[in-house]
Structure 1
Amino acid sequence: MASPEIPAMPKAMERVKAAIVGASGYTGQELVRRLLLHPQVELTAATSRQEEGRSLADVFPRFRAVPGAELKFILPDPDAIAATGARFAFLALPHGVAAEIGRALLERGLRVIDLSADFRIHDSAVYEEFYDHAHPAPDLLAEAIYGLPEVRPEEIKAARLIASPGCYPTSILLPLLPLLRENLIDPATVVANSMSGVSGAGRKADLSLLFCECNESARAYGVPKHRHLSEIEQELSLAAGQPVVISFIPHLIPVNAGIATTTTAKLGAGVDRAQIGEALEKAYAGMPFVRLLGEGQPADTKRVTGTNFIDIGWVHDPRTDRVILMSAEDNLGKGAGGQAIQSFNLMAGLCQTAGLQSV
């Protein structure tokens, strides 16, 4: 099915109208924060069934006195959202829910950046295997662009529908993709261990996420087949040019936000460790949100929380001939809302860093 013509980009000083569907969760709050402060965006709609009629400032008091925070939450009705003049919509909704409203907004001429898992997986059978229900909009999968701005900037610019990557996948994919593309590591030996702050589980009432359950505690979960494996292995396989299956062990740690990931793999035959640093530099030199720390430098979540940066360091272990990749990001920033805005900036013809410059 042919895609509708992409609307013309805005003129120089025109503010781009955007909506957030599902704006009351942690990721929604990050989108609200960034878009209210974005110099070239007008936030015209924010939806929440629970908070309908309340203003952004009432629900999130930190935004009091911020211009635009008087905007009131509305129900997630596609016609009402389109009536606000929004040209772009960010979907911060659970998987299985986002696809229906995403389709409706596309039909009304909006361009959609979906932060759920609904459009990340190319194969509807794989989606069903990992998410335990049939895909709600399989006909849209071929159109959706997996939105890693450092990997597919030109495709993102032209897209109607962006599948914004998950937080864990971003922290694993960006260090690994250049090495797989250049055949520097053995794909069969990849093991990724990640630690995430509690906000990654979403803003919901859950006994296991209460302060007394999480504080002074660390635990693995979602093993051995966390849902994010589906998109991780998909993208690694595309980079390697062959099926890639990895071990992925996520952990919950007692911090609000941040992801630290350590990924290991054996070097390929005849590969010198210096080629690791060279491949990363080649892939990400000049990329505004990838900070390469170099050999022997671990990444630290404290340096990236509240930002859209991902820090990447690495080291070679000569005893095992394994490369150890270390990355850190904010799960709500580069792992969610910030990365979605980075893709939006590309789609809207804006500077990629607009609204995202913070340290």
Structure 2
Amino acid sequence: MPAEREEEQSRKLWHSFEIFKNSSIKQDNMNEDKVKVGVYGHTGRLGEPLMGILREHPNTDIVYTESRSSGKRGDLEETDTVFMALPPGTSEEYLPSLEGKRIIDLSPDHRSDWVYGLPESRREEIREAERVANPGCYATSIILGLAPLQDEVNEVYISAVSGISGAGMKPKGEDNFLSYEEGRKHYQIEEMEKYLDAEIVSFSPTRIDNTEKGILSSIFARTEDFEDIYETYEDFYKGEEFVKIEEGTVQTKDVNGTNLCRMKTVQNDKGLEVI
């Protein structure tokens, strides 16, 4: 499987948690009745950390799991909600058996036709949705970074770096920066443009092979004049407990292993940079 298709990592999994926590699953009382969950692909690179999140959630009860390596365990009929932690292109064969159940798909397969699972921009849609597609890792960073200026930016250029876990690999001892899928080749550009309604002129992702996880994106764009861009971002994300606008240093070690996002804005007469 191509490395670019293996980028759904911990930020993405934490988004599954956020979707789940903020969704009004169709139950009478979530505090008394745990949501019965099934997970396809629970032994894989995405499935294992997802299982850890669900085990710790106070309102979930894992009643069914299925993977190629360990087979089927539990009763699918008991499930209310099913997570698909499968490789791209493989979830479709399971959908006919899941009619009437709520599905959250971690793969890129349904990001264009299911409800896009980014709570900060589509919380109410997620609450009512029966089918939710979890966002891509880079796309999450870029969409959150430009959402406060949607419809007011153009000429978007992006340089982003990530750890090696997104490629399904462990950190290497040797220092190495790997640039790949530069320009407009990366498959997540499609969802960035769809949900920002803006054209990405160029997107250059870089993998850091001796770092396990984290994403740091630098987004450059031309935009209309704003008197105070920091205040614009502060107002937009007011009340969002997982997004914070910083004035100082932004670093991945402050958010690794969480579903938090930290960003800062830099404005000058040539345009805008969001980090």
TM-score band, normalised by the shorter chain? 0.7 to 0.9
Of Structure 1 and Structure 2, the greater strand share is in 2
Q: TM-score, normalised by structure 2?
A: 0.84
C-alpha change, 1:152 and 1:219, in structure 2 (3 Å) is: same
CA contact under 8 A between 1:298 and 1:312: conserved in structure 2?
A: no
Gaps of 5+ in 1: 1-5, 53-73, 122-140, 203-208, 238-242, 327-359
Equivalent residue number for residue 132 of structure 1: none
Measured in 2, the distance between the counterparts of 1:273 and 1:198 equals: 39
C-alpha change, 1:48 and 1:323, in structure 2 (3 Å) is: same
SS in 2 for 1:172: helix
Residue 255 of structure 1 and its aligned partner are, at CA, apart by: 1.2
Equivalent residue number for residue 134 of structure 1: none
Measured in 2, the distance between the counterparts of 1:211 and 1:291 equals: 28
Equivalent residue number for residue 260 of structure 1: 216
Tell me if 1:40 matches 2:50: no
Equivalent residue number for residue 289 of structure 1: 242
Equivalent residue number for residue 92 of structure 1: 85
Choose from 243, 247, 250 the match for 2:205.
Answer: 250
Choose from 195, 198, 205 the match for 1:235.
Answer: 195
Equivalent residue number for residue 223 of structure 1: 182
* Letter of the structure 2 residue corresponding to residue 94 of structure 1: P
Choose from 145, 148, 156 the match for 2:126.
Answer: 156
Choose from 255, 261, 272 the match for 1:310.
Answer: 261
Residue 30 of structure 1 and its aligned partner are, at CA, apart by: 1.7
Equivalent residue number for residue 146 of structure 1: 116
Equivalent residue number for residue 67 of structure 1: none
Residue 211 of structure 1 and its aligned partner are, at CA, apart by: 5.1
Equivalent residue number for residue 272 of structure 1: 226
SS in 2 for 1:265: strand
Number of matched pairs: 249
CA contact under 8 A between 1:90 and 1:114: conserved in structure 2?
A: yes
SS in 1 for 2:220: strand
CA contact under 8 A between 2:64 and 2:76: conserved in structure 1?
A: no
Equivalent residue number for residue 160 of structure 2: 194
RMSD between aligned residues: 2.1
Larger radius of gyration: 1
Equivalent residue number for residue 76 of structure 2: 82
Matches within 5 A, 1:152-191: 152-181=122-151, 183=152, 185=153, 187=154, 189-191=155-157
CA contact under 8 A between 2:164 and 2:171: conserved in structure 1?
A: no
CA contact under 8 A between 1:21 and 1:92: conserved in structure 2?
A: yes
Measured in 1, the distance between the counterparts of 2:79 and 2:33 equals: 13
Measured in 2, the distance between the counterparts of 1:266 and 1:89 equals: 41
Measured in 2, the distance between the counterparts of 1:261 and 1:33 equals: 27
Measured in 1, the distance between the counterparts of 2:200 and 2:135 equals: 18
SS in 1 for 2:58: coil
* Letter of the structure 1 residue corresponding to residue 226 of structure 2: D
Equivalent residue number for residue 118 of structure 1: 109
* Letter of the structure 2 residue corresponding to residue 218 of structure 1: F
The CA deviation string for residues 329-357 of structure 1, in whole angstroms up to 9 with x for no partner, is xxxxxxxxxxxxxxxxxxxxxxxxxxxxx
Measured in 1, the distance between the counterparts of 2:150 and 2:144 equals: 11
C-alpha change, 1:176 and 1:9, in structure 2 (3 Å) is: same
CA contact under 8 A between 1:102 and 1:114: conserved in structure 2?
A: no
Residue 7 of structure 1 and its aligned partner are, at CA, apart by: 7.5
Choose from 37, 61, 65 the match for 1:18.
Answer: 37
CA contact under 8 A between 1:233 and 1:246: conserved in structure 2?
A: no
Gaps of 5+ in 2: 1-23
The CA deviation string for residues 264-317 of structure 1, in whole angstroms up to 9 with x for no partner, is 11232xx1351x2222122210112112213xx342110001111011111124
Q: TM-score, normalised by structure 1?
A: 0.65
Residue 13 of structure 1 and its aligned partner are, at CA, apart by: 1.3
CA contact under 8 A between 2:161 and 2:206: conserved in structure 1?
A: yes
* Letter of the structure 2 residue corresponding to residue 322 of structure 1: G
C-alpha change, 1:25 and 1:246, in structure 2 (3 Å) is: farther
Equivalent residue number for residue 8 of structure 2: none
Measured in 1, the distance between the counterparts of 2:211 and 2:44 equals: 17
Measured in 2, the distance between the counterparts of 1:266 and 1:7 equals: 41
Identity of aligned residues (%): 33
Tell me if 1:101 matches 2:94: yes
